[in-house]
């Protein structure tokens, strides 16, 4: 008997619908009672509390004002929390979106600890980032590193997979201060000059 394969489900770019379903505030709708959003770390979470912020740019250097981002990171001890609970002080997973005015995204979290590869090699502190935006059929995967972790960055086995040192800099967030709080700016460039390095995981 011949094998009948199912037809592939048609794909669609993120469009405006990702905000309506997953970023209610960015779409102008009231949030749900239990919302996975940009508060990954609450005041009681152990570790250094930081603010992440940035913009997303297209290949022409224009702001992408309706992109959607997801973040996955270890806690301050280098452990991933897989038991998600919005009542806990820290969760390893969070979401945010760029705004229609300034086109900026923000995320409140803690600085992650060192995570080891399967072979036991330490990686520099980092945060995994997924980007969804108009015109992107499959979301883009990248990483955010920290510019004040230069020694760890220089030894990171994943960061060193990128052959050109100047391209590695596209993954390094710059430390700054926002309203007296430690912050890191991480701008993502989808294409063109200074294009962010994306990974094929």
* Tens digit of each residue's pLDDT (9 = 90 or more) over 98-119: 987 888 999 999 999 999 999 9
pTM for the whole structure: 0.89
% residues pLDDT > 70 (the chain): 94
Residue matched to tokens 């990702």 = 18
Mean pLDDT for the chain overall? 91
Cα-based angle 148, 150, 151 (whole degrees, multiple of 5): 125
Which one, of 170, 156, 63, lies nearest residue 112 by Cα?
156
Domains and their CATH numbers in the chain: 34-189 (2.60.130.10)
Res 11: pLDDT: 66
Q: Are strands 49-57 and 188-189 parallel, antiparallel or unpaired?
A: parallel
Res 23: pLDDT: 76
Average pLDDT (57-81) is 94
Res 86: pLDDT: 85
The residue that leads in pLDDT, 103 or 127, is 127
User: What secondary structure letter does DSSP report for 100?
Assistant: S
Going from the C-alpha of 146 to that of each of 15, 22, 77, 81, 105, the distances in angstroms are 31, 27, 16, 21, 17
The residue that leads in pLDDT, 13 or 198, is 198
- Judge whether 33 and 27 are in contact, CB under 8 Å: no
Beta strands in 33-92 (DSSP E): 49-57, 68-73
* Tens digit of each residue's pLDDT (9 = 90 or more) over 24-60: 777 777 877 778 889 999 999 999 999 999 999 999 9
Cα-based angle 134, 127, 96 (whole degrees, multiple of 5): 40
Please give the Cα distance from 116 to 152 (Å, whole number): 12
Res 13: pLDDT: 62
């Amino acid at each position: 008997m011949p094998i009948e394969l199912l037809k592939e489900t048609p794909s669609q770019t993120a469009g405006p619908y990702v905000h309506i379903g997953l970023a209610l505030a960015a779409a102008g709708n009231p949030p749900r009672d239990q919302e996975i959003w940009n508060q990954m770390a609450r005041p009681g979470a152990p570790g250094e509390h930081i603010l992440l912020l940035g913009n997303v740019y297209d290949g022409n250097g224009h702001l992408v004002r309706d992109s959607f981002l997801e973040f996955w990171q270890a806690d301050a001890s280098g452990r991933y929390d897989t038991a998600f609970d919005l009542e806990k002080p820290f969760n390893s997973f969070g979401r945010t979106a760029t705004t229609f005015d300034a086109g900026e995204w923000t995320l409140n979290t803690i600085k992650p600890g060192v995570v080891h590869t399967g072979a036991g090699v330490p990686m520099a502190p980092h945060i995994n980032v997924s980007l969804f935006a108009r015109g992107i059929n499959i979301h883009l995967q990248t990483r955010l590193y920290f510019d004040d972790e230069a020694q760890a960055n220089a030894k990171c086995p994943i960061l060193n997979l990128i052959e050109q040192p100047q391209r590695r800099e596209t993954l390094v967030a710059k430390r700054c201060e926002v309203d007296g709080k430690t912050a890191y700016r991480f701008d993502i460039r989808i294409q063109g000059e200074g294009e962010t390095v994306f990974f094929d995981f």
